[in-house]
C-alpha cells in the first residue's frame, strides 16, 4: 500500500526572501532517493511506502541546515489509505474528471 506525503520546507532567518534555490536542493535529495514525486507551487508530493517517505522528508528538512539556515519549519501532510491503493495521478485525474 502506498501513501502520499506532501512536504514543505520553510527556512527561517536567512535574510533571503527567495526559497527557490533551497526547494531545488530538497528536490535533488528527493531525486537521489529515487522516490516518485510531483512538485506543486506549495510543496512536493511523494508517493510510496510511508516509512520510506518520512525518511525522505527528514532529509529534505535537513537540507535547510546544510545550506546555511539556522532554523526551519517543515510541514509534512500524510494521506494514508489502507482499503485501496492511492496514486497521485488517480487522485488528481479522478477529481478533474468529476469536476468537469
DSSP track, 15-42: S-S--HHHHHHHHHHHHHHT-EEEEETT
> Which x/- pattern, by CB under 8 A, does the window 2-31 give for its own copies?
--x-x-x-xxxxxxxxxxxx-xxx-xx--x
How many angstroms separate the CA atoms of 71 and 83, rounded? 38
- Binding to its own copies by residue 85, rule CB under 8 A? no
- Binding to its own copies by residue 60, rule CB under 8 A? no
Exposed / middle / buried, residue 90 (Cβ in 10 Å: 0-12, 13-18, 19+):
exposed
Q: Which is nearer to its own copies, 35 or 72 (CB)?
A: 72
Alpha-carbon torsion (32, 33, 39, 42), positive or negative: negative
- Binding to its own copies by residue 63, rule CB under 8 A? no
Contact set with its own copies (CB under 8 A): 4, 6, 8, 10-21, 23-25, 27-28, 31, 38-43, 45, 47, 50-51, 54, 58, 61, 65, 70-84, 88-89, 91-92, 94-96, 98-99
Amino acid at each position: 500500500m502506498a501513501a502520499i506525503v506532501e512536504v514543505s520546507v520553510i527556512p527561517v532567518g536567512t535574510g533571503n526572501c527567495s526559497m527557490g534555490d533551497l526547494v531545488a536542493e530538497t528536490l535533488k535529495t528527493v531525486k537521489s532517493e529515487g522516490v516518485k514525486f510531483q512538485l506543486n507551487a506549495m510543496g512536493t508530493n511523494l508517493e510510496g511506502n510511508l516509512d520510506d517517505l518520512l525518511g525522505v522528508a527528514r532529509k529534505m528538512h535537513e537540507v535547510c541546515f546544510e545550506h546555511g539556515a539556522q532554523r526551519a519549519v517543515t510541514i509534512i501532510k500524510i494521506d494514508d489509505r489502507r482499503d485501496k491503493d492511492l496514486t497521485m495521478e488517480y487522485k488528481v485525474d479522478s477529481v478533474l474528471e468529476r469536476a468537469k
